[in-house]
């Protein structure tokens, strides 16, 4: 590194336009010579005080610090990727769970609807059976009522017919015959 700094300084002296003009460049009266000497002394002081090493050390420290920050950033990035993957996995699990819940709810709703349909069919069948029984009962009652009235009318009509056709002697004979039948059955 030291050679790289000194060589350009000497090259500048050798290629200087002042060298081409006059031969008195190496005197203290020459401004360019004094500036060149001061510059060389300045560079020598920097090298003596190990400023390039300090600058390189500072640059190395900064590079190390930047490298550490980059490593930390990479670690944070990997951690963020892991967290993102975890959240995406949890989201997929939540979506799958939601789908299962919705599917189960649909199945239960369909089962409940089917059960309700079956229960409704049974209730309708029971009501129809009850209505049929009521209709049959009402029909039987009406038939019985009509028969009873017909019998009553028939008995009344027969009574009227018998009353017209029957004489007192025939009525007494009929009563005697009925009493005889009752006695025979009781003994």
Between helices 51-165 and 31-48, what is the axis angle to 10°? Answer: 60
- What pLDDT, on the 0 to 100 scale, is given for residue 69? 97
1-36 tens-digit pLDDT: 444 455 455 445 555 554 455 557 788 888 999 999
* Residues 93-122 pLDDT 10s: 999 999 999 999 999 999 999 999 999 999
Which two tokens mark 135? 């209709």
> Which residues lie below 8 Å from residue 34, measured CB to CB, with a gap of 6+?
28
| Structure token pair of residue 160 | 């009227």
What are the pLDDT digits (tens) for 123-171? 999 999 999 999 999 989 888 888 888 888 888 887 777 777 777 777 7
């Amino acid at each position: 590194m030291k050679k790289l700094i000194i060589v350009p300084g000497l090259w500048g002296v050798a290629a200087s336009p002042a060298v081409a003009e006059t031969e008195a460049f190496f005197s203290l009266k020459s401004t360019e010579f004094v500036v060149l000497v001061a510059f060389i002394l300045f560079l020598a002081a920097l090298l003596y005080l190990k400023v390039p090493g300090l600058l390189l050390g500072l640059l190395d420290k900064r590079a190390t610090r930047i490298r550490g920050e980059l490593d930390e950033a990479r670690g944070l990035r990997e951690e963020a990727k892991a967290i993102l993957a975890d959240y995406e996995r949890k989201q997929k699990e939540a979506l799958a769970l939601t789908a299962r819940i919705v599917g189960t709810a649909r199945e239960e709703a369909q089962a409940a609807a089917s059960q309700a349909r079956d229960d409704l069919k049974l209730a309708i069948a029971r009501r129809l059976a009850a209505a049929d029984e009521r209709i049959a009962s009402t029909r039987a009652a009406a038939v019985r009522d009509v028969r009873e009235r017909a019998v009553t009318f028939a008995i009344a009509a027969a009574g009227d017919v018998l009353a017209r056709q029957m004489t007192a002697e025939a009525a007494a004979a009929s009563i005697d015959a009925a009493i005889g039948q009752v006695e025979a059955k009781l003994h």
